Every structure is written in structure tokens, then in C-alpha cells.
Amino acid sequence: MSSHTRLRPLLSAAILPMLAIALPASGATVRKRAPAPAAPNTAIIPLPLNPIVPAGQRLCSATTPTGLGYTVLRAGSGTMPAKSDVVLINYVGYLKATGAVFDQNMRAPLPVDGVIPGFSQGLQMMARNAVVRFCIPATLGYGAQASGPIPANSDLVFQVELLDYKTAAEVEQMRAEPPAPAPAPAPAPQPATPPKP
């Protein structure tokens, strides 16, 4: 008799009962323990709420000759804005060192030449619908000057989506055009008159 043959009844007698205990019978419901309710927390959440961006999203894969880092997250199409244009963008800005978000906005109109140099350079590299991460060294950002929640000599990172842009001439034309009149409200429905006998 082989050792496997002798062990088979012993294994069956020891392991099968354990499996029967661990597994519910067919058709039986398995009760899950409800998670313990969270205890109330009286800590005050500091405002504005500033999440921390993970380290991998604070890096760029390419660099321009001026030192601006960038990673194209989604390519756009068409022409790119010029320095005198106004862009419409979604963006989030955060510190490269810590990932702390210091600014974010959606559908923000900004003049390309009215922002820090690295941001302006980056905007001019984007086509409509592009999403690009820019790694802006302090020399192309605020330099040795602190600005609000941004410490002096901070390298910055922005994720920017270019929704649209207009030339300076288009913006001036839009300003010069009188606003379109609001459509007249629809007349209120009149109650039906009963038929005369």
C-alpha cells in the first residue's frame, strides 16, 4: 500500500469537515458583517479644500529649450493661440514639491500674455481640446517672490485643458456688438371657452 493511499482516508477525515464549516450549504445565505458606523468627527475642515496631487502627476516627460516641462495628456487639433489671444480653459495648479493644489478653475477666460511666462509659453503650444501638464520652474513662474499660497522660488505644475480661444480682434468685435435682445416670452395660454348652447 502506497503512502498516498494510506493518507487519503486521513486527509478526507481531517480536511472535509473544515471545508464544510467554511463553505455555506447550497442555497444558504451568507451574512456579511455591517461595517461599524463612523464616529462623528468635530474637526474643522480648512478652506479652501486643497487636495494633494500624487508625485507621478507632478512630473513632465519633455522640456522646451526655455526649461518649461510638459506632457501631452490629450492631443488637440487645429491652430494654436498667439500671445495676444484670449483662451478659455479648465485648469488646476499645484506645487511640484508637495502636490498641494493652490488654484483651479473651469471655463476661465485668460489673456495669454497676462499670466506668468511659463503658463503663457505653454498655452501657445496647445491646440483646441488638448490637455497638457506643464511643469513650470520658478524662473518661469513667480521667481523669488511669493504669491498668495505659492511660496517664493516654487516650481509649479498645471494641468490645462484648452476649450477655445479668440484673437484680440474677435474679442474686440464681441465687445463692440450690442447684446442680442432677449426673446419675447411666449403668450400665456388662454383658457378654452365653453361652446355656446
Q: Is residue 65 part of a domain?
A: yes
Q: Is residue 142 part of a domain?
A: yes
Q: Which three cell numbers stand for residue 59?
A: 512630473
pLDDT in tens, 156-186: 999 999 999 999 899 889 889 877 777 777 7
User: In whole angstroms, what is the distance from residue 102 CA to residue 50 CA?
Assistant: 7
Q: Is residue 165 part of a domain?
A: yes
Q: Is residue 99 part of a domain?
A: yes
> Does 36 or 17 have the greater pLDDT score?
36
Is 70 exceeded by the pLDDT of residue 92?
yes
Q: Is residue 79 part of a domain?
A: yes
CATH of the domain at 71: 3.10.50.40
With contact defined as beta carbons under 8 Å apart, do 80 and 127 qualify? yes
Mean pLDDT of the chain: 84
Q: Is residue 63 part of a domain?
A: yes
- The alpha carbon dihedral of 75, 76, 78, 83 has a sign of negative
Q: Is residue 81 part of a domain?
A: yes
What are the residue ranges of helices labelled H in the chain? 3-22, 117-123, 168-176
How many domains does the chain divide into? Answer: 1
pLDDT in tens, 60-90: 999 999 999 999 999 999 999 999 999 999 9
**Lowest model confidence (mean pLDDT) among 41-45, 88-92, 97-101, 104-108:** 41-45
Predicted pLDDT of residue 6: 45
Q: Which domain holds residue 73?
A: 55-173
- Residue 56: name the closest of 34, 42, 73 by CA: 73
With contact defined as beta carbons under 8 Å apart, do 127 and 165 qualify? no
Q: Is residue 178 part of a domain?
A: no
Is 70 exceeded by the pLDDT of residue 130?
yes
Is 50 exceeded by the pLDDT of residue 5?
no
Predicted pLDDT of residue 19: 43
Q: In residues, how long is the chain?
A: 197
